[in-house]
Chains A and B, each alone.
Chain A
Amino acid sequence: MIEIRNLSKHFGDVKALKNINLSVQQGEFFGLLGPNGAGKTTTVNILSTLLKPDDGSVTLNGLDLLSDPRGAKRLLGVVPQELALYEELSAADNLHFWGKLYGMQGNSLKARIRHLLEFMGLNDRGNDRLTTFSGGMKRRVNLAVALLHDPVILFLDEPTVGIDVQSRHRIYEILGKLHQQDKTIVYTTHYLEEIERLCERVAIIDQGEIKAEGTLDSLRQLIQGDSEVLVMLDDISLKTAPADPLPAGVRLTDEGLLGSGDDVNDLVQKLVTICSARGWNIRDIELKSASLETVFLQLTGKELRD
């Protein structure tokens, strides 16, 4: 469905994308995970024909994106990071405007707008101006606009930025339904829980490079060791802890020390020794399986929030 080959892009001296290769199958929910500035938005901008790559090729459903961008645009629905809507207009008017730009008109457009407002749970607010909408409702209209022309491929660029947990879950539900409708979805985010909840496969991108690609399970197997141990510290210890450097394979989280390794017993002993040497008080010890965050940390050397 989506084939990306040797894609490169630079802005001045900054290499935003370095020889990226990716494949996304039809109906797949594919996650592109990376910190801010990793190259996610540049990738989506190229895939949505906004930017031309310096090198490489992209095919969508067998259609060459670079030679037939207008044809490709018909296949694509893009949900940009921004709320790209006219807040002075109602939800229905926004949908009507954007539908017209895709060549839709008359009763078929009206029917599509009704359907999408209902699908988004906004059928009773269709005629209200967006200025009266909550952030979550605007995000849903933002998503509805991308679905107007019933695209087979959907690019979502951090579509839940700046909204509360409840609204976020509402969007997850909608995306789940779209996935059931066999839409091919490429989802960029720096929220790990979104990737873990929604995506079947994921690519980790950092500094314009794909660091790893595969299912969540296959990615977890990439890191050394199968297990993680979290030694939870009391509040006083947590306050003093950031000042001390830690050995390799051990890092400090909001709750305490997290380490990964093959042998759980050795790992626990190692972490306990670190704590007693520094006079930190242990509150609890928890055994965990390797998380995607640990995978990310191992592959990129940095945390997602960096």
Chain B
Amino acid sequence: MLAIALKDLKIILGDRKALVLSFLLPIFLVGLFAFVYGSMGAPREEHPVNLLIADQDQTDLSAVIVTRLDSLKSIRLTSICLEEARQKVTRGDYPAVLVLHKGLADSISANRPAGLEMQYDPAQELEMGLLQQAIMLPLFEIIGRPALREMVLEEVRGDYPRLDPKLIKQIENNIDKSFRSDNISPRLQNRNAIIMTPLIPVERTSWALVQAVAGTAVMMLLFSVAGLGAGLLVERESGTLKRLLITPLHPMQILYGKLLSTLVISVLQLAVVFIFAWLVFGLDLTLNPSALMLVALATAFACAGFGLFLAAVSTSRKQVEMLSTLIILIMSAIGGSMIPLPIMPVIMQKLAAISVNYWSIQGFFDIFWRELPLWDILPRIFILFGMGFLLIAVARLFFKRNLAGLV
């Protein structure tokens, strides 16, 4: 028994690259998840939420609102025109735009609804909750309290025209005391409630369904193509790679043959997953079939490129296993497969762009959730193809360099 354990340890410790990777992986994942979950409980000041603001009123009051919101540490405010803001929110780049409609100041004076509207992306539910929590009180201080004060005094003056001005002054003070920002009931807060308008109709495909299907499909596809790396090493170990190199084929044709078979399998795997989601969960595959096919093909191509990369850089099956697990879990964790992007810290959301998962998942969100036209989805498709080509180029270099070692 001890002999078996010692033999196994000797083999494991012999492959240093694989050994390092096997220790790196848990360390990285522990660090990553600690960072993500830790940031969820951290003060919002450390991770401000993005908010667009479109000031169509352009009055002193609207300027005060913009300045006040801009002073909040818990949000990062960007002033922008409404049309551009709506595009950004629709594309999922920002959770919401706060629109200060024309006539806002007049509405306040006339004690009419304030003309504030939050146009938002329902997919970013968590961000929206944080935003509402952050802006409600400051807005009430600027708009709600003066409006309420004016309303009460108007009522008092109307009903009791002969009331002593000292008493009126006392009523004013009492209103100010009662409606301190830290002492306001939700009912009063809602008196000047912001009109909430989802930019993406809520009756569309469930956001969670798209996240579950796209996120899982891409992650599992990456695991599946990792088999390509092992496959090339199996060919090497069995001697068939050597024999392939003796045939009149160019060595790169061997690599491209592997790429093609992986691409076919990848496309089929994605097709099966989406058909399953259609049959069981009612995911509507007819929304934009051409975009769906292109995003799926681009995803499959990028993943196949990743498989080829693994195959070319690894020199043992253990290395393929460890390297693939490490890279796939990292990409899945930061790219949105394992943790939905909106709940990740801002820096992680930026880092997500280096992963295949991110571009693919966002591509599927564009189709099923945002219902964007093909033209708007093309940049993500090009990026996925670009990633695929880059990985293939690196794989070529390594394969060429390691060719002598392969025989």
Contact = CB atoms under 8 A, between A and B. Distances in A.
Contacts of A86: 240
14 contacts: A49-B245, A50-B407, A51-B404, A73-B246, A80-B242, A81-B239, A84-B239, A84-B243, A86-B240, A98-B247, A101-B247, A101-B248, A102-B247, A103-B248
The 6 closest A-B pairs by CB, nearest first: A82-B239, A84-B239, A84-B243, A101-B247, A50-B407, A84-B240
A36 B407 CA distance: 17
Contacts of B183: none
A83 B244 CA distance: 13
A49 B249 CA distance: 12
Given A45-B407, A50-B407, A51-B404, A85 B240 contact: yes
A76 interface: yes
B286 interface: no
Nearest to A70: B248
A206 B242 CA distance: 24
A101 B244 contact: yes
B238 interface: yes
Interface in B101-124: none
B1 to A, nearest CB: 31
B248 A84 contact: no
Contacts of A177: none
B238 A82 contact: yes
Interface residues of B, number: 13
Nearest to A101: B247
Interface-centre pick from A76, A82, A103 (highest chain B CB count, 10 A): A82
Contacts of B248: 70, 73-74, 101-103
Contacts of B240: 84-86
Contact of B246 (A48, A81, A82, A85): A48
B243 A76 contact: no
Interface in A49-88: 49-51, 70, 73-74, 76, 78, 80-86
A290 interface: no
Contacts of B244: 101
Contacts of A145: 243
A80 B239 contact: yes
Nearest to A83: B239
Given A49-B246, A101-B249, 5 more contacts: A49-B245, A74-B248, A80-B243, A82-B239, A101-B248
Nearest to A74: B248
